[in-house]
Amino acid sequence: MQMEVHSLDNLNLEAPPGKRLVVLGDPIAHSLSPAMHNAALKEMAADYPELEEWRYEAVHVPATELGRALEVLKNAGVVGINLTIPHKVDVLGIISEVDPLSRSMGAVNTLISTPAGYRGTNTDGFGIIRAVEESFQGSPAGEDVWLFGAGGAARGIIVACLEQGAARLTVVNRSPERLYVFKQALESQSLSGLDRVRFRESSGIEDDAGDSALLINATSLGLKETDANPIPLSFLGRNRAVYDTTYGALNQLARDCGTMGIPYADGLSMLIWQGVRSLEIWTNKTVPAEAMRAAALEELRKRKSNG
């Protein structure tokens, strides 16, 4: 069973009279965000009756339609928008106002309505830091961080880890071309701390990670149980921790960590905490993270039982 997914043409922008929040993506049917946000809004409405008519919906928007989508949603009074693949980077060429940290990340996942249009920010960095704190009772500060993957998710993570004071960051990717583009993009932002960042190709990579290194999977490998482990087994030392940004599947990386006794956490906590931060920005109120977590877990359970 999948949640209801709207298009710009079938989304009823006239009702209800309450505030509207949406997530835009292509694909979008897999998103847990509507379940999470609507559960949080329902709980919050008990203390804040003005939130009773707020609702959050998923809208399928292809990359070529993003500009039109933002115009339509702004005219309809939509106060908050989340962005997922493929819009996080493309939106930078459409909106004019982006906070400096998000600009340095080169990606935006949250839009806030202003009189002049939508203002962009990124809550993914907040999400990864809180997720690591929650999962491993520590932070990237002073740590040796290895980031596997050089896509959109990696941008927010690397900037957040640098902001937290990671001692060293190593970005690992299979494609040398994509690794080069990623490196150029970071250097173009004049980020503080780039002297602590190294770039390495996966092929023949030397393991010189510290004994207590934090390893982060920021590739798409892991969304399916059959996906290969993107992190070489030689890196899975017992004192190292693995944070996997994918979630919803007992993938090979999770199985290998379990067999070897490696501390492991999947990406659900990052999804929850970035969602908490987005909803805080839109409502200016405290958001119940546990309501989001319970709703996300229940939605995953339903999908597995029906799939």
Q: How confident is the model at residue 14 (pLDDT cuts 50, 70, 90)?
A: low
CA dist., res. 210 & res. 122, Å (int)? 30
pLDDT (average), residues 192-204: 92
Distance (Å, whole) CA 104 – CA 61: 25
Of residues 75 and 214, which shows the higher confidence score?
Answer: 214
Q: What are the residues whose beta carbons fall under 8 Å from the beta carbon of 270, sequence distance 6 or more?
A: 124, 127, 128, 130, 131, 243, 245
- Residue 134 in tokens: 């929650």
Q: Model-level pTM? A: 0.91
Q: Is 42 a residue of the active site?
A: no
229-267 core/surface letters (b: 16 or more CB in 10 A; e: else): bbbeeebbbeebbbbbbbbbbebbbbebbeeeebebbbb
* Widest pairwise Cα distance in the chain: 58
The catalytically annotated residue of 19, 42, 74, 88 is: 88
Residue 93 has a pLDDT of 93
Nearest to 58 by CA among 24, 98, 18: 24
Percent of the chain scoring above 70 in pLDDT: 97
Measure the CA–CA gap between 84 and 220, rounded to whole angstroms.
14
pLDDT at 212 over 80: yes
3-state secondary structure of 291: helix
Helices (runs of H) and strands (runs of E) counted in the chain: 10, 13
End-to-end Cα spacing for the chain: 7
> Which tokens is 193 given?
């701390």
* Number of other CB atoms surrounding residue 134 within 10 Å: 14
* Average pLDDT over all residues of the chain: 92
Residue 64 is encoded by which pair of tokens? 């070529």
In the chain the beta strands, taken as DSSP E runs, fall at: 5-6, 20-25, 55-60, 80-83, 97-98, 110-114, 117-121, 144-148, 168-173, 197-201, 214-217, 241-244, 264-265
Cα-based angle 249, 254, 259 (whole degrees, multiple of 5): 140
Integer CA distances (angstroms), 276 to 127, 189, 255, 284, in order: 8, 27, 29, 11
92 pLDDT band, cuts 50/70/90, is very high
Give the mean model confidence (pLDDT) for residues 142-150. 96
Whether residue 62 has a cis bond before it, omega within 30° of 0: no
Lowest mean pLDDT: which of 111-115, 151-155, 184-188?
151-155
Reference 161, options 175, 137, 142; nearest CA is: 142
C-alpha distances in Å from residue 100, one per residue of 106, 155, 171: 10, 14, 23
Indicate whether 281 pLDDT > 90.
yes
Confidence of residue 1 (pLDDT cuts 50, 70, 90): very low
Residue 15 binned pLDDT confidence (cut-offs 50, 70, 90): low
Q: How confident is the model at residue 30 (pLDDT cuts 50, 70, 90)?
A: confident
Return the closest-CA partner of residue 275 out of 91, 37, 5.
37
